Structure 1
Amino acid sequence: MSDSESAPNSREVTETPEVEVEEQTKGDGKMTMEERKAKMQQLRAKMRSSALANRKSVIEESAKAKVSVRDAARLEKQRKLAEVLRSKADAEERGEDVERQKNWEWTIEENEEWEKKLARKARRADFEFHDDAHAARRRYKKDLDQLKPNMADYNRQKEIALGLAPGTLAKSGASSSSSSITNFDPSGGLQVAPTTHQQRLAADSLYRDANSLLYADSKPSEDAIDRVVAKINQDVDKKRKFSRKRANEDEGDITYINERNRVFNKKIARYYDKYTTEIRASFERGTAL
Structure 2
Amino acid sequence: MDDNESEAGSSKLTLADRKAKMDQLRKRLAASSRANRHSLVEESTKLKVTARDAARLERQRKLAETLREKADAEARGEDADRSKNWEYTIEENDAWEKKLARKKRRADFEFHNDAHAARRRYKKDLDLIKPDLVAYNQQKEIAMGLAPGTLSTFDAKSGPSSLQVAPSTLEQQLAAENLYRDANTLMYGDSKPSEDAIDRMVSKINKDIDKKGKFSRKRLNEDEGDITYINEANRVFNKKIARYYDKYTTEIRASFERGTAL
State whether TM-score is above 0.5: yes
1:286 aligns with 2:251: no
Residue 246 of structure 1 and its aligned partner are, at CA, apart by 4.2
CA distance in structure 2 between the partners assigned to 1:87 and 1:200 by the alignment: 62
Structure 1: state its 5+ residue gaps: 1-27, 175-189, 255-282
Deviation digits for residues 188-221 of structure 1 (CA, Å, limit 9, x no counterpart):
xx99476123322222222222232221212112
Query: In the alignment, is the contact (CA less than 8 A) between 2:146 and 2:166 conserved in 1?
Result: no
Query: In the alignment, is the contact (CA less than 8 A) between 1:157 and 1:202 conserved in 2?
Result: yes
Query: In the alignment, is the contact (CA less than 8 A) between 1:161 and 1:194 conserved in 2?
Result: no
Output the amino acid matched with 2:140.
K
Name the structure 1 match of 2:197: 224
Residue 55 of structure 1 and its aligned partner are, at CA, apart by 2.5
CA distance in structure 2 between the partners assigned to 1:173 and 1:151 by the alignment: 16
Residue 69 of structure 1 and its aligned partner are, at CA, apart by 1.9
1:239 aligns with 2:212: yes
After superposition, the Cα gap between the structure-2 partners of 1:171 and 1:58, relative to the gap in structure 1 and judged at 3 Å, is farther
- What is the Cα-based RMSD across aligned positions, in Å? 3.0
1:129 aligns with 2:102: no
After superposition, the Cα gap between the structure-2 partners of 1:43 and 1:92, relative to the gap in structure 1 and judged at 3 Å, is same
Query: In the alignment, is the contact (CA less than 8 A) between 1:156 and 1:166 conserved in 2?
Result: yes
Name the structure 1 match of 2:41: 59
CA distance in structure 2 between the partners assigned to 1:173 and 1:136 by the alignment: 41
CA distance in structure 2 between the partners assigned to 1:38 and 1:173 by the alignment: 87
* 1:1-40 equivalent positions in 2, closer than 5 A: 32-40=14-22
Name the structure 1 match of 2:142: 160
Query: In the alignment, is the contact (CA less than 8 A) between 1:163 and 1:199 conserved in 2?
Result: yes
CA distance in structure 2 between the partners assigned to 1:243 and 1:173 by the alignment: 53
* 1:138-177 equivalent positions in 2, closer than 5 A: 138-172=120-154
Question: TM-score when scaled to structure 1?
Answer: 0.65
Residue 80 of structure 1 and its aligned partner are, at CA, apart by 0.5
Query: In the alignment, is the contact (CA less than 8 A) between 2:139 and 2:179 conserved in 1?
Result: yes
Local SS of the residue matching 1:74: helix
Name the structure 2 match of 1:253: 225
Name the structure 1 match of 2:237: none
CA distance in structure 2 between the partners assigned to 1:109 and 1:236 by the alignment: 36
Deviation digits for residues 96-124 of structure 1 (CA, Å, limit 9, x no counterpart):
11111112222222222222222221111
Name the structure 1 match of 2:83: 101
Tell me which of 164, 179, 190 is aligned to 1:206: 179
Structure 2: state its 5+ residue gaps: 1-9, 157-162, 227-254
Output the amino acid matched with 2:109.
F
Deviation digits for residues 213-270 of structure 1 (CA, Å, limit 9, x no counterpart):
22121211222112211222222232233322346x265628xxxxxxxxxxxxxxxx
CA distance in structure 1 between the partners assigned to 2:29 and 2:222 by the alignment: 70
Question: TM-score when scaled to structure 2?
Answer: 0.71
Local SS of the residue matching 2:112: coil
1:197 aligns with 2:140: no
Query: In the alignment, is the contact (CA less than 8 A) between 1:161 and 1:199 conserved in 2?
Result: yes
CA distance in structure 1 between the partners assigned to 2:165 and 2:185 by the alignment: 21
Percent of aligned pairs sharing the same letter: 67
Output the amino acid matched with 2:111.
F
After superposition, the Cα gap between the structure-2 partners of 1:160 and 1:284, relative to the gap in structure 1 and judged at 3 Å, is farther
Query: In the alignment, is the contact (CA less than 8 A) between 2:147 and 2:165 conserved in 1?
Result: no
Output the amino acid matched with 1:244.
R
Residue 156 of structure 1 and its aligned partner are, at CA, apart by 2.5
CA distance in structure 1 between the partners assigned to 2:167 and 2:183 by the alignment: 20
Name the structure 2 match of 1:83: 65
After superposition, the Cα gap between the structure-2 partners of 1:71 and 1:168, relative to the gap in structure 1 and judged at 3 Å, is farther
After superposition, the Cα gap between the structure-2 partners of 1:284 and 1:43, relative to the gap in structure 1 and judged at 3 Å, is closer
Aligned length: 214
- Please identify the structure whose Cα radius of gyration is greater: 1
Residue 284 of structure 1 and its aligned partner are, at CA, apart by 10
Query: In the alignment, is the contact (CA less than 8 A) between 1:162 and 1:194 conserved in 2?
Result: no
